[in-house]
Amino acid sequence: MSSVLSDIKKEYMISLLKNGKREDGRGLNDMRDLKIELGVANKAEGSCFVQLGETKVIAGVKCEVGAPFPDTPNQGVFTTNAELIPMASPDFEAGPPREDSIELARIVDRGIRESGAIDFQKLVIKEGELVRVLFVDIHIMDYNGNLFDAAGIAAIGALYNTKMPVLDEEGKKTEELMQLPMKKIPVPCTYAKIADSILYDPSMEEESVMDSRITATTEDNGRIAAMQKGDVGSFKKEEILDIVRRSKVRGDEVRSLLKEKFSEMR
């Protein structure tokens, strides 16, 4: 989008936001329709499809056995990867991981890790020698704004959907399966700032003209597990406090939907 067109678009959005409206008809604190589907990838130990508006994401989990990190010999290993494929958006390019995909993976990883969602100690097979190694792969199918929330929800859904092989005393896989030891359901909530307005779940059009962005990940008890700011603009203290308050409410709403999906698995 040229700078002239971008400026015109931004001014139009600002005029709407001053009246509490958005281009797609939502209020400033409204989320687009959210669809969650578990167990969509047969070859993954766990998987989840999320559609947030027209943004579509699939997360898959693979479980392996390997050595722990030297500084955490009593914990399993967890890693997150995000892939922005060209078919999802004209803005995505083939090749090595871009800064956008690295940031996306980092925000999802941090929200899950800092919330204590996974009981990493229960992933230990032999302390200091052998542990479970979890890989979460996030694939963007269609991008129309707010990959952070869609990817974060898909990742936690895939982890709760995961069934990994029970291991014998030597660490070899058996035919029996067990659920991944999960403790919490972290939910990311992303807000964009355009001029003086802060709006939840930004669309692609809104992201193209936003001044700044914050993703706040909440736990089940409402505690903020992680926060990540993006872009060059700034937030006032009272704006951040308001985002925290709003994230607790929105996080609980998404958590309730996830819990319904998890109960259907049993």
Closest CA to 148 of 91, 209, 204, 105: 105
For position 97, what pLDDT does the model report? Answer: 54
For position 66, what pLDDT does the model report? Answer: 93
Burial of 211 by CB count in 10 Å (0-12 exposed, 13-18 middle, 19+ buried)?
middle
Beta strand pairing status for 124-126 and 224-230? unpaired
Over the stretch 186-229, which tens digit does the pLDDT of each residue have?
Answer: 999 999 999 999 999 999 999 989 999 999 999 998 899 999 99
213 near 231, Cβ under 8 Å?
A: yes
Residues of the chain with pLDDT under 50: 96
For position 237, what pLDDT does the model report? Answer: 95
d(CA 216, CA 10): 24
pTM of the model: 0.93
For position 18, what pLDDT does the model report? Answer: 87
For position 5, what pLDDT does the model report? Answer: 59
For position 8, what pLDDT does the model report? Answer: 84
For position 41, what pLDDT does the model report? Answer: 92
For position 60, what pLDDT does the model report? Answer: 97
User: Which CATH number is associated with domain 3-265?
Assistant: 3.30.230.70
Q: Residue 146: what residue type?
A: N
Domain boundaries, the chain: 3-265
For position 222, what pLDDT does the model report? Answer: 87
